[in-house]
Amino acid sequence: MTDQHLADLADLAPLDLPEAGEAEAWRSFLSRRVEGELATARAQADALRVLAAGDAAALERWNDLHVALGNAFAVSSLLAQVHPDQQLRESAERFEQELHAFQTGLMLDVEVFGRLESVPREGLDEALAPGATRVLDDALRAFRRSGVDRDDATRERLATLSARDSDLSQAFGRNIRDGATSTRVPASALAGLPEDYVAEHPAADDGTVAISTAYPDMGPFLMFSADAAARREVMTTYLNLGWPANDEVLGELLAVRDETARTLGYDGWPDYDAELKMIGSGSAIAEFVDRVAADAADSAQRDLAVMLERARHDDPGVERLTVADSRYLGEVVRREQFEVDGQAVRGYFDFAKVRRGLLDVTARLFGLTYTDVAEAPTWHDEVAAYDVTLDDTGERLGRIYLDLHPREGKYNHAAQFDLVSGVGQRQLPEGVLVCNFGRGRMEHSEVVTLFHEFGHLLHHVLAGRHPWARFSGVATEWDFVEAPSQMLEEWAWDHSVLATFATNADGEPIPAALVERMRAAEEFGQGIYAATQMYYAAISYRFHAELPDDLTARSAALSQQYAVWERLPDTHFHCGFGHLSGYTSGYYTYMWSLVIAKDLFSAFDADDLFAPEVARRYRDTVLAAGGSADAADLVEAFLGRPYDNRAFTAWLES
Ligand SMILES: [Zn+2]
């Protein structure tokens, strides 16, 4: 990595963690770390306030404040999700709330804002460090977006709206969680389900079994039950989660967001929210959704026809397929027409070999070495720590932790967490992969997930040498964040890559023909997938842009317009669509990232995914840059042209 912005990390050491199992030592480590860093952040804010107007040192104090605040947030957010000691997890959560409160107050602090605003932009990069102007502009924009420069009454109203937004968002999520329920279906509907599933669902005296709305319960049922009427009932229950309570909650939430955005001078919430993203404006979301929907239409209709024909095999009277048929028929078609047997595939993915393989593949690809630091203490004995060094120079880039198996009280999805964000000449980046894989065989989809999440981890470590905390790690626009990870998934679909670690009990590598069939099966239904995603994206955008009076009616109309599946009557999908609280109007982002991921991947040689030159250039141009430039510029620097949707469209139509 030759970028002039990247400072030396040579003599920096990773955090010294307590030994696993020493709960008391961990509690005092957490308190010391959070309280110490928060005290530093407060001290930097105080120091900033007393600077003379126009003193460029304000930006350095701002950076120091963010290094400290970031450190406090990282350790509490991580330990709240992964530490085995419940008491420690709870105190980490309380620290998180305290940090949020400090941050909210800071962003409405007129004095801090004033000192930063008075810093002259001219010559700033030369006087401080390259990127200073970008950091200043970003800070001032964040302050203005929180309303710091408004009159007292407006700031008070904005604070009220912000608090109301957070209450309503919490209520929205709580109504979905608390609304979890089950549906009683005839025991005969379990024919075709795995034995262990059937055993866990004993029939009651009336001959029925209960299927809950929890994913591990509902998912296999919708995938394997041949009983169309039972699937329909289970799906109907699911599509009424949060109904009717959330209809009103969501209506008010949309109004609160709209008022917030308009108070700040924006033409509605989607424009406000999109301002910080690559897409830039609300109207661009509408255009993107419609373009992807149009591109996906042919492939979606083609695959739908295949599924309809297969459904008529069992029941000649079927006229239209509903969302209750989608997973079942998708699975049947993949099994019958693509001959992909999930059990056989599993036989090639032994966890220990996959983990070793992932490290070998990414080390080779990006010119890195991972050194097992077996003696490094962590929060649990199953967590492995590795130091990451750059082969070109031998220098240490950071430390990664792999926490990959489930345990009680641990975060139950897959995500990358920061332990420390890297800052040049100050602190080494340390990142953590938190997943929940079994300790034996893995599904291929889990292998793909592991590669995906590892992409975030590499981004965090490789972009850890900037002097500005704002640029460190995955500090890029929200609608670009997934692209590097989505691209790394491609390596988990390549036979020559898989053959390096996917071997069965006899040591035979996975056959090329099987990987070929797996890829073909995966491609089946991707137009339908894209159309469905655009239906969700349309709800997320249209609801926030239009504030419809009747959310159910608007949702039904959007279903008619975008979704491939016939809508089930008397259902209220929007009430259980939890992403509306976090993604707000931006559910399109995952697909947006995928467009760029496909374009990035087009620069690689599909016949030689290990070709070193392109991978190193990608590492240095896109990943190592972190948030130091706009994502579109990073992608253009790598591709040698602006990104476009040709590779994505070709993929959709394949
Ligand atoms: Zn991701």
Cβ neighbours of residue 78 closer than 8 Å, sequence gap 6 or more: 417, 418, 419, 432
CA of 484 to the centre of ligand 1 (A): 9
pLDDT score recorded for residue 34? 98
Task: Report the C-alpha gap between 202 and 415 in whole angstroms.
Answer: 35
Among candidate residues 43, 33, 26, 111, the one with its CA nearest the CA of residue 70:
33
| Distance from the Cα of residue 458 to its chain's centroid | 15
**456: CA distance to ligand 1 center in Å?**
7
Contact between 365 and 5 under an 8 Å Cβ cutoff? The reply is no
Q: How far is the CA of 571 from the centre of ligand 1 (A)?
A: 30
Rounded Cα gap, residues 213 and 222, in angstroms:
11
Q: Ligand 1 centre from 452 Cα, in Å?
A: 6
CA 387 to chain centre: 25
Instruction: Name residue, tokens 């053959």.
Output: 499
Give residue 49 CA to ligand 1 midpoint distance, Å. 38
CA of 512 to the centre of ligand 1 (A): 28
Do the Cβ atoms of 39 and 64 come closer than 8 Å? no
Report CA(238)–ligand 1 centroid distance (Å). Answer: 25
Which tokens in the block code for residue 419? 């332990």
Alpha-carbon gap, residue 380 to 391, rounded angstroms: 30
- Determine contact, residues 41/102, Cβ cutoff 8 Å: yes
Beta-ladder partners of 420: 430
How much distance in Å is there from the Cα of 54 to the middle of ligand 1? 41
416 CA distance to ligand 1 middle (Å): 8
Q: Report the separation in Å between the CA atom of 415 and the middle of ligand 1, taken as the mean of its atom positions.
A: 7
With CA atoms as reference, report the closest residue to 37 among 65, 63, 60: 65
Nearest Cα to Cα of residue 301 among 588, 652, 573? 652
Task: Look at residue 628 in the predicted model and tell me its pLDDT.
Answer: 97
- Any idea what the Cα angle at residue 258 is, between residues 257 and 261, rounded to 5°? 85
CA of 53 to the centre of ligand 1 (A): 42
Residue ranges with CB less than 5 Å from ion ligand 1: 482, 485
Report pLDDT for 215.
Answer: 74
Q: Tens digits of per-residue pLDDT, 217-269?
A: 898 899 999 999 999 999 999 999 999 999 999 999 999 999 999 999 999 99
Q: What is the pLDDT of residue 5?
A: 44
Question: pLDDT tens, 257-311?
Answer: 999 999 999 999 999 999 999 999 999 999 999 999 999 999 999 999 999 999 9
451: CA distance to ligand 1 center in Å?
Answer: 10
Phi, psi of 513 (to 5 degrees): -65, -35
Quote the ligand 1 centre to 286 CA distance (angstroms): 23
Task: Identify the sign of the CA torsion 608, 356, 366, 279.
Answer: positive
Q: How far is the CA of 55 from the centre of ligand 1 (A)?
A: 40
Q: Please name the residue ranges forming H helices in 179-227.
A: 195-199, 215-224
In this structure, how many other beta carbons lie within 10 angstroms of the beta carbon of residue 375?
Answer: 6
Cα gap 410→80, rounded to integer Å: 9
At 582 the pLDDT is 87
Give the strands of the sheet with 396-403, arranged side by side: 368-372, 384-390, 396-403, 430-434, 415-420
For residues 208 and 189, the answer to whether their CB atoms sit within 8 Å is no
Distances (CA, A) of 198 to 43, 188, 209, 222, 332: 60, 10, 10, 14, 19
What amino acid occupies position 368?
L
Maximum Cα–Cα distance for the chain, whole Å? Answer: 81
Cα 400 to ligand 1 centroid, rounded to whole Å: 17
- Ligand 1 centre and the CA of 595: distance in Å? 14
Q: Which is it for strands 430-434 and 396-403: parallel, antiparallel or unpaired?
A: parallel
CA of 598 to the centre of ligand 1 (A): 15
Sign of CA dihedral 88, 457, 350, 368: negative
Q: Find the 156 Cα to ligand 1 centroid distance in Å.
A: 36
Q: How far is the CA of 436 from the centre of ligand 1 (A)?
A: 15
Burial class (CB in 10 A: 0-12, 13-18, 19+), 126: exposed
Per-residue confidence (pLDDT) for residue 448, from 0 to 100: 96
Question: What's the rounded Cα separation, in Å, for the pair 176 and 243?
Answer: 9
> Which two structure tokens, joined as six digits, stand for 485?
């990870």
In the reported structure, the alpha carbon of residue 371 is separated from the centroid of ligand 1 by a whole-number distance in angstroms of 25
CA 356–ligand 1 middle distance (angstroms): 21
> Of 547, 539, 593, which Cα lies nearest the Cα of 279?
593
CA torsion sign, 561 to 567 to 570 to 571?
negative
628-457-594-546 Cα dihedral, nearest 10 degrees: -70
- Can you tell me the distance from the alpha carbon of 218 to that of 235, in angstroms, rounded to the nearest whole number? 8
Amino acid 152 reads: D
CA distances from 267 to 279, 291, 444, 544 (A): 16, 23, 45, 11
Tell me the C-alpha distance between 202 and 216, whole Å: 16
Q: How far is CA 145 from CA 142, 254, 473, in A?
A: 5, 18, 23
Give the model's pLDDT for residue 386. 98
Which residues of the chain have a pLDDT value below 50? 1-2, 4-5
Task: Please give the distance, rounded to the nearest whole angstrom, from the Cα atom of residue 409 to the centre of ligand 1.
Answer: 22
Structure tokens at 640: 């040698």
Phi/psi of residue 549, nearest 5 degrees: -70, -45
Q: How many angstroms is it from 301 CA to the middle of ligand 1?
A: 29
CA 50–ligand 1 middle distance (angstroms) = 41
What sign results for the dihedral spanned by CA atoms 27, 33, 36, 40? negative
As a whole number of angstroms, the distance between CA 573 and CA 582 comes to 16
Which tokens hold the place of 296?
């996906």
> How many angstroms is it from 453 CA to the middle of ligand 1?
6
Task: Give the distance (Å) from ligand 1 centre to CA of residue 481.
Answer: 7
Tell me how far the alpha carbon of residue 569 lies from the centroid of ligand 1, in angstroms. Answer: 34
pLDDT score of 9: 67
Taking Cα atoms as reference points, which of 410, 416, 442 lies closest to residue 429? Answer: 416
What does the pLDDT read at residue 74? 98
Distance, CA of 93 to CA of 325 (rounded, Å): 41
CA of 596 from ligand 1 middle (Å) equals 14
459 CA to centre of ligand 1 in angstroms: 11
pLDDT of residue 2: 45
How confident is the model at residue 4, as a pLDDT?
A: 44
User: Could you tell me the distance, in angstroms and rounded to a whole number, from the CA of residue 623 to the centre of ligand 1?
Assistant: 14
Eight-state DSSP code of residue 185: E
Residue 485 alpha carbon to ligand 1 centre in Å? 6
> How many angstroms is it from 454 CA to the middle of ligand 1?
9
Question: CB-based contacts of 275: which residues, under 8 Å, 6+ apart?
Answer: 145, 266, 281
